[in-house]
Structure 1
Amino acid sequence: MQASENAMGFGTRDIIKCKNVEPSHKMIATAELMAAAIHDLKNPLASIRGLGQLGMLTSSSKKERSYFERIIKQVDSLNTSVIDLLSVFKPEKSVRANPSLIVKEVLDGLRATCDINNIKLVFRAEYKGEINLHIKVFKRAVENLVRNAVLVLTNGGKIEIYTGENDNYFLMSIKDNGPGIPDDMKESVFQPFVYQRKDGTGLGLFMVQHAIAEVHGGKIWFESELGKGTTFYISLPKD
């Protein structure tokens, strides 16, 4: 156990240090507000989709029907995003599951993208046990972190994912050799609408932090150096 923990870059000091990124009251309130707002989106989306379907049925113009079809597809895509967001802020009940298997499932779904972008994806799963997990939420968080790593590796590169343990925690790290996070952004990485990439929502890492710390009672932190890359660390209680 100890060898695995040290190899992954985890130590007692790191577990203590990560308490500094626990959610503030402001972030918790933001999450609750977002959950309510996201839920309220479902009815207008259903109305828009219904109008699109009505247009498809009543329009005699092929061009107009193609527009209505595009509206329906976009609404369906947005509705999927709404459901995913609700799964983070209003999660299902937890079950006992092997987190390494869930991580593998996420990575299998991203390997083609990595291959196309000349990114080497390395996974070392040393944790074989089960912990209490909100599976959809955990899966979404892992996928978000790995996708972020893919996005920063614009000229190819390497992403290394490890799972392991110490006496009380499941441990995980996601390391990339990308450009790193600027020093002036490090304090606000997990804040909503602050650390935002082009075409992003600014909510990705906020949702990851919420999923790990609030939903699972775990910790998340990172180390980053310009020109060398970033490593995100996750610890979750085994029991």
Structure 2
Amino acid sequence: METTHFAPSARTIPDVLIEQMHSLDDAGSIVSVLDSVPYDVLILNKEREIVWANKTLTQHLGIETDFFKQGVRPGELFNCVHMSDNAGGCGTSEHCRTCGAVLTILEAQTGKESVNECRMTQKQTLNALDLKVSGSPFRHGNDEFVIFTLTDISAEKRREALERIFFHDILNTAGGILGFASLVQVAENDDMNEFLSQIDKLSKRLIEEIKAQRLLTYAEKGDYELNKTDFNVVELLNDIASSYRQIPIGSDKVIENLIRIQELNIYNDRSLVDRVFTNMMKNALEASESGQTVAYNVSIENSSFILSVNNPRVMPKNVQLQVFKRSFSTKGKGRGLGTYSIKLLTEKYLGGEAWFTSDLAKGTTFYCKIPV
């Protein structure tokens, strides 16, 4: 038996698995009903392997029922990014401890009905699935099964995130513009140019916020086309940091520049690098308390540059296991796009790598390594 960090790793003997699949052919009306519903339904055995799937699911994924004779679990069916983290497969990695699908199945196996949300990132494509999952115990013959349903709630999560962006982030930036516009009315001549400069920067940042949501929408659909230009990364990072010093999320914190190089000219997609660093900075500021320091840096390593943003807070282990999942956030409803988009844009479009560290000694630091 393979080792596991969470759910049991044992698999069904192939002959027994096939017998279970055939036995459900005689399950009567319940299978007929499940086959007619317009959402995905699976029946799982005690090893969490799929022994039956309704027509909605098989047609949706374009698979035949013989596919399940291999002993496939839900995360393996949907190509979860963590399905191979541990030799035991779906349900056995450390990340599976926070998986809504695995938790639902295990609770249903105790005889209780269960409902959860499951946030899953798919391998290779990095597509994100937001699912509402439910599990109900089901006995047939001498075997105990779980009826497992999956409903796509991605549209609902995207709507919540969009509302949050327009009602919170964009209003924050607009508030900064209004604040400086008010100061212009009473400013001395010596201060006027500085206030007008800040208004100009914040106005541009407001437009960037709106463009950023459009960019993420295209990126998730796979429709984004890279637009590479020459630009100075150091100048870009400093401009972004400066804009955050002027709005509520950053004005009560210390934003420290650790960059030791004057310029770093690269040829890449400026909008994507802007969005990645913006989300790194926003994530750090939201995690920090008033008066704390958020520090940013960029360094060169071989033919790549590494962005880093540090904050003094430490993420609990259960939070660390869910970072980079779409819609996961510790900050409330309609959040969770920040770290997800960092990984999506860096790894799928910029050809780089995103990761983080979090410990008591150094706090939390997010890194993005991007080819020059």
TM-score by length of 2: 0.41
Cross-structure match for 2:292: 157
User: Is the 2:249–2:286 Cα contact (8 Å) retained in structure 1?
Assistant: no
Larger helix proportion of the pair: 1
- Structure with a larger share of its residues in strand: 2
Please report how far the alpha carbon of residue 84 of structure 1 lies from its aligned counterpart in structure 2 after TM superposition. 4.0
Q: Deviations over 1:63-89 (max 9, x none)?
A: xxxxxxxxxxxxxxx976642423644
Spell out the pairing of 1:1-239 with structure 2 (5 A cutoff).
Answer: 24-25=122-123, 28-30=126-128, 82-86=213-217, 88-89=219-220, 90-113=224-247, 117-127=251-261, 128-178=263-313, 180-225=314-359, 229-238=363-372
Structure 1 vs Structure 2 CA RMSD = 3.2
Number of the residue aligned with 2:183? none
Rounded Cα–Cα distance in structure 2 between residues aligned with 1:111 and 1:79: 20
Q: 1:126 to 1:88 in 2, by over 3 A?
A: farther
Distance in 2 (alpha carbons) for counterparts of 1:115 and 1:196: 16
Amino acid at match of 2:265: E
Give structure 1 stretches of 5+ with no counterpart. 1-19, 32-36, 42-77
- Report which structure shows greater RCO (CA 8 Å, sep ≥6): 1
Q: Which moved more, 1:158-167 or 1:88-97?
A: 88-97
Alpha carbons of 1:80 and 1:174: their partners in 2 closer, same or farther (altered >3 Å)?
closer
- Separation of aligned partners in 2, 1:189 and 1:139: 20
Contact 1:117 1:156 in 2 (8 A): no
Larger radius of gyration: 2
The C-alpha deviation readout for 1:72-112, integer Å capped at 9, x for no partner, is: xxxxxx97664242364424422222221211121111112
* Greater Cα shift, 155-164 or 121-130: 121-130
Taking structure 1 as reference, are residues 100 and 87 closer, same or farther at Cα in structure 2, changes over 3 Å only? farther
- For residue 45 of structure 1, what is the aligned residue in structure 2? none
Alpha-carbon spacing, 1:214–1:155, altered in 2? closer, same or farther (3 Å) = same
| Number of residue-to-residue matches in the alignment | 174
Unpaired segments of 5 or more residues in structure 2?
1-84, 86-120, 130-154, 160-208
Task: Give me the whole-angstrom Cα distance separating, in 1, the residues matched to 2:122 and 2:296.
Answer: 28
Partners of 1:102 and 1:116 lie apart in 2 by 17
Q: Which amino acid aligns with 1:145?
A: M
After superposition, what is the alpha-carbon deviation per residue over 1:136-190, rounded to whole angstroms, capped at 9, x for unaligned? 1211111111111111223320011111112222122111112x21112212201
1:136 and 1:126 mapped to 2: Cα distance?
23
Q: Deviations over 1:110-136 (max 9, x none)?
A: 112369643111113335232232211
Q: Deviations over 1:191-237 (max 9, x none)?
A: 11233422442222111111111110111111112586211112111
Question: Aligned to 1:159, what secondary structure does the other structure show?
Answer: strand
| Large movers: runs of 4+ above 6 Å | none
Give the TM-score normalised by structure 1.
0.62
Distance 2:256 2:280 in 1: 15
